Amino acid sequence: MELSHTLHAILADTTCIVGIGNYLRSDDAVGLEIVDELKDCARSERVSVINAEDVMESFLGDIRGTGARNVIIIDAVSSVSEPGNVVFGRLEDFDELIGGYSTHKLALKLACQTLADAGQRVYLLGIGIMTNEIGVGLSANVRRTADTLAGILAHIIKSSHKEYVYVQ
Q: What is the CATH number of the domain that holds 21?
A: 3.40.50.1450
Q: Is residue 71 part of a domain?
A: yes
Q: Is residue 38 part of a domain?
A: yes
The β-bridge relationship of strands 121-128 and 86-90 is antiparallel
Residue 95's pLDDT is 65
Contacts of 102 (CB under 8 A, 6+ apart): 75, 76, 77, 78, 94, 108, 126
Residue 161's pLDDT is 46
Residue 96's pLDDT is 59
User: What percent of the chain stands above pLDDT 90?
Assistant: 67
The chain-wide mean pLDDT, for the chain, equals 86
Where does the pLDDT of residue 113 fall: very low under 50, low under 70, confident under 90, or very high at 90 and above? confident
- The structural domain count of the chain equals 1
The β-bridge relationship of strands 70-77 and 121-128 is parallel
Does 91 or 38 have the greater pLDDT score?
38
Q: Is residue 67 part of a domain?
A: yes
Q: Is residue 80 part of a domain?
A: yes
| pLDDT value at 101 more than 70 | no
pTM for the structure as a whole: 0.89
| pLDDT value at 42 more than 70 | no
Domain that holds residue 97: 3-158
Does 161 or 19 have the greater pLDDT score?
19
Q: Is residue 165 part of a domain?
A: no
Contacts of 59 (CB under 8 A, 6+ apart): 18, 50, 52
Residue 149's pLDDT is 97
Q: Is residue 167 part of a domain?
A: no
| pLDDT value at 103 more than 60 | no
Residue type, 61: G
Q: Is residue 39 part of a domain?
A: yes
Where does the pLDDT of residue 163 fall: very low under 50, low under 70, confident under 90, or very high at 90 and above? very low
Residue 20's pLDDT is 94
Q: Is residue 19 part of a domain?
A: yes
| pLDDT value at 106 more than 80 | no
